[in-house]
């Protein structure tokens, strides 16, 4: 068998590798505290479960769904965008259902890149951006998004010859892995940059509903000119603890949304209609669900940040996402060796920062999607094993 150059060019997916490390540690008999992948441990809300039990028994939901999503679901998305962000999107032209936002992000590279086109990607950033740019035949270009810039990509640092070949700029706020939230000034600058250079902004807003102290993240579509240059990806995975259900949506520029839909009609057959039907009531009244979840995540955030700071770190508390981005201890050699050593000594699984790009080296990411008692236990194990900054 001769494999394609495409498949040979892409590295193993970060979290598949982490799953292997976890399985090896379990085989050794370690009691693993999994602070790796960001998979909510909280259950899908009863409101959605109850709606699903009815929807799944409706025979009309057992057939192929509309490729672009049911109109009822897209209208619910439109209502949610208006209520949550004060952004008006046409449910027929500017909303598209996704089999989770990761699917839409992956297909966007196929929709908008030709062979050799450049995709501007934040470093550190979600690993799927880089890999899917390669799969599409594009050229991923890492834009520094470091602590020095508040984890906002330094658009001024991109060489003009690279900008000239760029078709896409990926943004992700609140950020995975850093937890950073971009300033209004940065969004305004990014829109001007995209207009000047005829670049499409792909805004990954997967964590819009995981926020603390009432500081709601913003949509790029809220800003003047945003819809002219941007398509935005949302997911219900984090909003309603539905990672296994696979449902999300793309909204924004009509041409971009319709072009992505054209790719999808040739690649997949849409989302099970019962799932689309089941989430509509929750999308129309999400606040009570979201507020309760965020209170839990905020308490967990405080356990980890306060615990690490008590061991010599000096971390600020992120205002969004369920991730803590922390430098590796000063005595550690690199991110990968530190995380392996941590797993072997303590049974605590975290993600090495270099998995998110070259500029992630020297950091590690903690997910707080584990029960409170396990987070307390993780801090206790760090104290017991003298894992200090």
User: Over its length of 389 residues, how does the chain's per-residue pLDDT go in tens digits?
Assistant: 888 888 887 777 666 777 777 788 788 888 999 999 899 999 999 999 999 999 999 999 999 999 999 999 999 999 999 999 999 999 999 999 999 999 999 999 999 999 999 999 999 999 999 999 999 999 999 999 999 999 999 999 999 999 999 999 999 999 999 999 999 999 999 999 999 999 999 999 999 999 999 999 999 999 999 999 999 999 999 999 999 999 999 999 999 999 999 999 999 999 999 999 999 999 999 999 999 999 999 999 999 999 999 999 999 999 999 999 999 999 999 999 999 999 999 999 999 999 999 999 999 999 999 999 999 999 999 999 999 99
Q: What is the pLDDT of residue 10?
A: 76
d(CA 96, CA 111): 14
Task: State which CATH number among 3.30.300.30, 3.40.640.10, 3.40.50.12780, 3.30.590.20 fits the domain covering 46-285.
Answer: 3.40.640.10
274 φ, ψ to 5°?
A: -60, -35
For the chain, where do the domains classified as CATH 3.40.640.10 start and end? 46-285
Phi-psi map region of 189: left, alpha, beta (phi>0 left; psi -120 to 50 alpha): alpha
Predicted local distance difference test score (pLDDT) of residue 172: 98
What pLDDT score was predicted for residue 160?
A: 97
Task: Provide the token pair at 351.
Answer: 């993600």
| Fold entry, domain 5-43+288-384 | 3.90.1150
d(CA 135, CA 132): 5
Q: Please name the residue ranges forming H helices in the chain.
A: 5-9, 14-27, 46-55, 71-85, 101-112, 127-135, 160-165, 184-197, 226-229, 236-239, 254-265, 273-284, 287-309, 335-346, 372-384
Spatial contact of 276 and 247, defined as CB atoms under 8 Å apart? yes
Q: Is residue 13 a contact partner of residue 102, using CB atoms and an 8 Å limit?
A: no
Report phi then psi at 168, rounded to 5.
-130, 145
Tell me how far apart the alpha carbons of residues 211 and 213 are, in angstroms, rounded to a whole number.
7
CA distance 208 to 216: 7
Q: In a 3-state reduction of DSSP, which class is residue 349?
A: strand
Beta strands 230-235 and 248-252: pairing type?
A: antiparallel
Instruction: State the burial class of residue 109 (Cβ atoms within 10 Å of its Cβ: 0-12, 13-18, 19+).
Output: buried
Longest distance between any two alpha carbons in the chain, whole Å: 61
Estimate to the nearest angstrom the gap between the alpha carbon of 49 and the chain centroid.
24
* The two structure tokens encoding residue 213: 């102290």
Pair 174, 208: CB distance under 8 Å: yes
Dist. CA 43–CA 171, nearest whole Å = 29
Q: Where in the chain is the domain with CATH 3.90.1150.10?
A: 5-43+288-384
**Residues linked to residue 170 through DSSP beta bridges, in sequence order:** 202
**Residue 286 contacts residue 197 (beta carbons within 8 Å):** no
């Amino acid at each position: 068998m001769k494999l394609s150059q495409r498949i040979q060019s892409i590295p193993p997916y970060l979290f598949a590798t982490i799953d292997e490390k976890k399985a090896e540690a379990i085989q050794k008999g370690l009691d693993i505290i999994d602070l790796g992948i960001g998979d909510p441990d909280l259950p899908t809300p009863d409101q959605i479960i109850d709606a699903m039990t009815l929807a799944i028994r409706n025979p009309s939901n057992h057939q192929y769904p509309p490729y672009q999503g049911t109109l009822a679901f897209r209208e619910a998305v439109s209502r949610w965008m208006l209520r949550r962000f004060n952004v008006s999107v046409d449910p027929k032209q500017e909303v598209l259902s996704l089999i989770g936002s990761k699917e839409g992000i992956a297909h966007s590279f196929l929709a908008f890149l030709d062979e050799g086109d450049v995709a501007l990607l934040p470093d550190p950033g979600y690993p799927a951006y880089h890999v899917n740019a390669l799969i599409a035949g594009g050229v991923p270009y890492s834009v520094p998004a470091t602590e020095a810039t508040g984890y906002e990509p330094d658009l001024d640092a991109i060489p003009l010859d690279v900008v000239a070949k760029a078709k896409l700029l990926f943004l992700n706020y609140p950020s995975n892995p850093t937890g950073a939230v971009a300033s209004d000034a940065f969004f305004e600058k990014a829109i001007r940059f995209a207009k000047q250079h005829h670049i499409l902004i792909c805004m990954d807003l997967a964590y819009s509903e995981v926020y603390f102290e009432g500081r709601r993240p913003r949509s790029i579509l809220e800003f003047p000119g945003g819809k002219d240059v941007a398509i935005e990806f949302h997911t219900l995975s984090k909003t309603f603890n539905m990672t296994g259900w696979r449902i999300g949506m793309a909204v924004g520029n009509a041409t971009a949304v319709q072009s992505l839909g054209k790719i999808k009609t040739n690649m997949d057959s849409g989302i099970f209609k019962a799932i689309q039907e089941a989430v509509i009531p929750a999308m129309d009244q999400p606040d009570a669900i979201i507020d309760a979840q965020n209170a839990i995540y905020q308490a967990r955030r405080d356990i980890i940040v306060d615990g690490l700071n008590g061991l010599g770190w000096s971390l600020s508390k992120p205002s969004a996402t369920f991730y803590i981005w922390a430098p590796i201890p000063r005595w550690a050699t690199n991110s990968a060796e530190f995380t392996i050593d941590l797993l072997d000594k303590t049974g605590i699984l975290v993600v090495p920062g270099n998995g998110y790009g070259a500029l992630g080296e020297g950091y590690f990411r903690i997910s707080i999607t584990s029960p409170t008692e396990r987070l307390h236990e993780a801090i206790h194990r760090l104290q017991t094993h003298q894992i200090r900054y």
